[in-house]
Structure 1
Amino acid sequence: MNLNETQHKIIFRLSALGDLVLTTGIMEFWAEKYGWTFTVITKKQYSAPLENNPHITEIISLEKDDLGDIAWIVKAGEIAMRYAGCELIDLHSTLRSRILAMRWRGPVSRYKKFSIERRLFKLTRSESLEKKLENTRVTVRYASAIEKELPESKELIPRIYLTDAEKSEASSLMKDQYLDKKFIALHPYATHPDKSWPRVYWLDLIKKLDEKNIQWAVIGKDEFNLDVAKPEWNFTNKLSLRQTCALLREAKFLVTGDSGPMHLSSGVETPVIAMFGPTSKAWGFYPAGEKDIILESDMDCRPCSLHGKSNCEKNQECLKKIKTEDVMRGILNG
């Protein structure tokens, strides 16, 4: 390939959606600081937010079949040969990324994942560890792969580049549904149910927004669609990732749990009101914009999980303590 091997870097980050979106912040930083361009290796289902990024020359979108044990060893060898001489920047630090690194024909850099610190904090609830982890957001950890002096998280906000056609499509959609700019976007879903604010709370929030004549729109994907009184404003399962980003760009806030759309919203410069329950700011996956709001409960059992997979023994008390009035206060004062 005709690439400047010193200026072109290969980024490896497979999942999940939010984690991948966060890599766009550090790529933006490195592109501005060093003039680098990037090839990104990720899973096909998450790659859409990387499209149209001027710093990314190629996206290697891996299918499920590419990631089998033997298949990945073969695929890793093919990628290593193709990009021989370029630096591999491992922003995942998993077995698959280490297999790729073993086959790599050039320098390899890897970010500091803080795995031990996270496990120790979960066991000990150490305040000093908690402060250290909260102050070293995942985007800053990504920067540690290269930087000796770590930048601040506000310098690493994710960035999603939308086309003019995508922006125009979102405007047409809003016009068709009589949805004005600066509506409140709502994402009531979660990959892991324990991370989701109870549905009765979402419906109460919509009721309160209606009482204040504040427009809203539901976004996201879920098997169990939120049943709302204004179905024309419910875009559940109707939009692609990039269409979702274009719609989020027009919102005043996104209200969500700890989710992928939380980072999509940051990537289009829309502030977030994020509710954290079983997960925690200490894990590093939290929004860091100036107008972002994080709502969480002070409970000794939090965080109980890294990704929200644990079955809650307290019936989601941590999320139930976050009331609709708390969310409305953020919306009205924002």
Structure 2
Amino acid sequence: MSVPKDWLVVRLSALGDVVLTTGVLSYLYKKYGWRFTFLTLAPWSSVLEGHPAIDRIISINKEELRSSSGYTFFKQLAEEHEGKGLLDLHGTMRSRFLALCWKGAVRRYPKFSLQRRLFLQTEGKLGGEKLLRFNVPQRYALAVEEVAPSRLELLPRIFLSEKEIQYGKSVCERVAGRKSIIALHPFSTHPNKAWFSDYWRMLAEKLADAGMHVVIIGVGNSPVPEGDNVTDLTGKTTLRETCALLSCSQALVTGDSGPMHLASGVQTPVVALFGPTHRAWGFYPEGLSDIVLEADEDCRPCSLHGKKVCEKGQSCMRSIEPDRVLRSVLSLFS
């Protein structure tokens, strides 16, 4: 059977997982000339806009996905794209059902589920060799390639329009003038991955004292109050507007989050704070200027996504102090 040039890609959630596919698709487009239709959840679809390898984005919401009509949707999808390849980068029951209906080539990425469980249950003592060898984009690429490309070949790519770039520049100039902008994302989906509110405030003050302007991005109630050198844009920008703002920022400070990958996608350096989660899960930023700060705790990792309640008062996150983060940010300017 000949290998198709057109593929349906499935990656439904979460935001970071979707962003991490973008560099892989760029790689496959450049190497093989493949083109893609992309199925994802509606809230994340906009990050795929403008990608030169993606011809169509199909979005679905969680309610549709969870209802019985979701399986009818997958059957119709298989009929509509008969003869194309299916690139399953999700690997759940739903995407496997789609593969059963598919009339064409199917490629799946290795999730290393057994190794992840083993690594987690033994607090990092067993199962780590393969996990540490491949990050998530490389695992995606292994759906197609026998040998994973280098990490730098698969860095995420978000393609902003000239209008969006100019929007970002105009907002940055308006709020900061000629000062360097450091974006902060002080939010986390799971509480145990969150840095502490007092630490965020201390960091913002130290950055302002160092002559920088702080911009808060994300969704939620910011722990950092607005001031002469702090602008709070939480909940005020779309996903792509956030990317545009990040593209004209000198760095982003964040925990293990989706915006961490958004910044990578527009080539903005990241200072990432990792506590309960671990490099073995494959989500660390990999840009040449990116900095990962993590705790040296014997109990890491304690969960896959930071959902587990910590019995040590989040000592791993508390150990990453604001002065250490400040030094890392300042090192980007040296």
Give CA-to-partner distance per residue, 1:6-63, whole Å, 9 cap, x none.
Answer: 2111100000000000000100100000011100000001111101111100001012
Secondary structure of 1:197 counterpart: coil
Secondary structure of 1:301 counterpart: coil
Structure 1 residues not aligned, in runs of 5+: none
Aligned residues: 330
1:127 positional shift: 4.5
- Residue 278, structure 1, aligned to residue 276, structure 2: yes
Between stretches 131-140 and 116-125, larger displacement belongs to 131-140
1:69 positional shift: 4.2
CA distance in structure 1 between the partners assigned to 2:10 and 2:161 by the alignment: 25
Q: 2:322 matched to which residue of 1?
A: 324
Structure 2 residues not aligned, in runs of 5+: none
Amino acid at match of 1:225: S
Secondary structure of 1:216 counterpart: strand
- Residue 260, structure 1, aligned to residue 258, structure 2: yes
1:215 positional shift: 1.6
- Contact 1:182–1:253 (Cα < 8 Å) also in 2: no
Secondary structure of 1:233 counterpart: strand
- Contact 1:143–1:151 (Cα < 8 Å) also in 2: yes
Match of 2:137 among 136, 139, 151: 139
CA distance in structure 2 between the partners assigned to 1:116 and 1:5 by the alignment: 30
CA distance in structure 2 between the partners assigned to 1:229 and 1:24 by the alignment: 34
- Contact 1:184–1:217 (Cα < 8 Å) also in 2: yes
1:107 positional shift: 1.2
- Contact 2:123–2:302 (Cα < 8 Å) also in 1: no
Q: Tell me the C-alpha RMSD between the 2 structures.
A: 1.6
TM-score (norm 2): 0.95
CA distance in structure 1 between the partners assigned to 2:254 and 2:179 by the alignment: 19
CA distance in structure 1 between the partners assigned to 2:58 and 2:3 by the alignment: 18
Match of 1:230 among 227, 231, 235: 227
CA distance in structure 2 between the partners assigned to 1:146 and 1:220 by the alignment: 34
CA distance in structure 2 between the partners assigned to 1:217 and 1:204 by the alignment: 14
Match of 2:119 among 121, 131, 136: 121
TM-score (norm 1): 0.95
1:174 positional shift: 1.9
Match of 1:51 among 49, 53, 75: 49
Secondary structure of 2:249 counterpart: coil
- Contact 2:40–2:59 (Cα < 8 Å) also in 1: yes
Q: 1:158 matched to which residue of 2?
A: 156
Q: 1:243 matched to which residue of 2?
A: 241
Matches within 5 A, 1:165-180: 165-180=163-178
Secondary structure of 1:52 counterpart: coil
1:325 positional shift: 1.2
- Contact 2:110–2:140 (Cα < 8 Å) also in 1: yes
1:132 positional shift: 3.0
Between stretches 210-219 and 139-148, larger displacement belongs to 210-219
1:65 positional shift: 3.6
Give CA-to-partner distance per residue, 1:128-152, whole Å, 9 cap, x none.
Answer: 6334312210000001100011111
